[in-house]
Structure 1
């Protein structure tokens, strides 16, 4: 009997089991391969401050980059029926996703000012414990920007403004290719999902479900009805339970708002009673600002 497996990952929202692409890939692949995971949504605690999120415990190996078998030690494999050519196609399409689509997704959620301030930053700040919520979103946004510039800012493109047009053009071309490859099929290699379906789902689902105020790439995806249906099919067939907690999302948001107001009220009282140099967290605040 295989040892129980525990997955630490960012939690869900927007009717998704997780808002995090890499976490979605692991969750989807586990479903496709029949691997049973105990999922524990975690905030950005010191336990995961190294950036290993998602993290699979119990001596579990998870190679996210171009690795068809995400669970080799436990012998769970969603690709065992694929031919050698289909396996090669899988590797090629995963590389395409990383090269063409990932930079635009990073820009959409972490660099686009409107999306970042209205959606991404508030979500990750609210799901990080005090005082980490003040700098975790900024740290992740900085990493996203650095990754885009490192991989795409080649001469004569040197700034994010110059790169922006190129990465969105590449992403739309990638979505078109995926749509053409999927066609009218349920999944990319027939009637059973494979690792390629897990990767495509992980990349597309947040773009498909998030309420983005600035969403040129999202609007393009909505025009590709087969890809939208693909995401909806996986959610319905494998993650039906993921949407249930969000039926009470208004109550959750109301509680979060009350908690925020209470924290702000207590902070204001502390500021009135104590000089700033004596207030709790003053040293932390100074380090973060510097």
Structure 2
């Protein structure tokens, strides 16, 4: 009997099984290939800071990164690409490279660098899925990583400021979406009647942009003009993930409020434990500052912009 497989990833929202691009890629591929995996969201655990997700656990093996996970699944005979020709396999690699080079920087900027989107959507979401005190650390860490990656890959020597590369980032992303739309045409999937790894990658990159309620996003506005790409995402969600999300997602504000309530309960429990610590621990530097009430702090963060 094959060993059970567990997939650790960020949880879902916005009508998606995960809001995380890499996690979405692997989740989609497992559905396409018929692999049976147990999905374990890292939400509300300390792994929100330390874990590299997605991560596939199978017996003594632990595999990270979408490409490596997909290769591992193929070795386990879960292969969604077995009918592809050599030419189609080469096209798959070329389009995945295009997504990484042209679309990823714009997605990182949209969700993590754009001040309005970060303050009103991205930071509240990841903070509400991380236990105290990681709710203050996890979003900042992801934002700093995103900014560094954009500057390292798109900034020329000497490194430009982010405002100097924004135009190029979004121009490349729109060109990438146009190419994907042209290649897809009127078909449901990129190669024939069955989805492959390329469909999983495109879905993982495009679906969050399609489904997120972004306050500010010219790239999302451009995507919504490409009906076949948005329809592509909707088709995959309906065919492969409808049973996972039988009910429509709640409005963003209701979701945030519910998560704030859960976070408040968690912080209260931790506060009770802290009060029971010995005098030496309470007098240590990291425990001297007054702990603000978490709910007002997170609420105020929603309307603020990062420094």
Give the TM-score normalised by the residue count of structure 2: 0.82
The question of whether the paired residues in 2 share the 8 Å contact of 1:68 and 1:79 is answered with: no
Q: Kindly indicate whether residue 112 of structure 2 is the aligned counterpart of residue 99 of structure 1.
A: no
Q: Kindly indicate whether residue 231 of structure 2 is the aligned counterpart of residue 229 of structure 1.
A: yes
Deviates more, 1:140-149 or 1:242-251: 242-251
The question of whether the paired residues in 2 share the 8 Å contact of 1:16 and 1:242 is answered with: no
CA distance in 2, matches of 1:230, 1:258: 35
Among 105, 113, 116, the residue aligned to 1:114: 116
CA distance in 2, matches of 1:49, 1:25: 21
> Corresponding residue for 1:2?
2
> Corresponding residue for 2:171?
169
Secondary structure at the residue paired with 2:165? helix
Superposed displacement of residue 73, structure 1: 3.4
CA distance in 2, matches of 1:60, 1:75: 17
Unaligned runs of 5+ in 2: 272-279, 290-307
Secondary structure at the residue paired with 2:8? strand
CA-to-aligned-CA distance 1:249-281 (integer Å, 9 cap, x gap): 67755443444566899999xxxxxxxx99699
The question of whether the paired residues in 2 share the 8 Å contact of 1:60 and 1:71 is answered with: no
**Distance 1:140-1:63 versus aligned 2 partners, 3 A rule:** closer
The question of whether the paired residues in 2 share the 8 Å contact of 1:104 and 1:167 is answered with: yes
CA distance in 2, matches of 1:132, 1:72: 36
CA distance in 1, matches of 2:235, 2:9: 23
> Corresponding residue for 2:162?
160
CA distance in 1, matches of 2:200, 2:230: 14
**Distance 1:86-1:225 versus aligned 2 partners, 3 A rule:** same
Backbone CA RMSD of aligned residues:
2.9
Q: Kindly indicate whether residue 133 of structure 2 is the aligned counterpart of residue 126 of structure 1.
A: no
> Corresponding residue for 1:274?
none
Superposed displacement of residue 190, structure 1: 1.1
Secondary structure at the residue paired with 1:233? helix
**Distance 1:14-1:248 versus aligned 2 partners, 3 A rule:** closer
CA-to-aligned-CA distance 1:88-125 (integer Å, 9 cap, x gap): 00000000000000000000000000000000000000
Secondary structure at the residue paired with 2:15? coil
**Distance 1:47-1:135 versus aligned 2 partners, 3 A rule:** closer
CA distance in 2, matches of 1:116, 1:168: 17
CA distance in 1, matches of 2:48, 2:71: 24
Give the TM-score normalised by the residue count of structure 1: 0.86
CA distance in 2, matches of 1:284, 1:122: 25
CA-to-aligned-CA distance 1:12-52 (integer Å, 9 cap, x gap): 00010000000000000000011011001112744464441
Unaligned runs of 5+ in 1: 269-276
> Corresponding residue for 1:53?
53
CA distance in 2, matches of 1:190, 1:227: 16
Superposed displacement of residue 2, structure 1: 1.9
Deviates more, 1:63-72 or 1:189-198: 63-72
Superposed displacement of residue 247, structure 1: 4.6
Runs of 4 or more off by more than 2 Å in structure 1?
43-51, 60-70, 241-268, 277-282
The question of whether the paired residues in 2 share the 8 Å contact of 1:103 and 1:148 is answered with: yes
CA distance in 2, matches of 1:161, 1:55: 34
The size of the alignment, in residue pairs, is 279
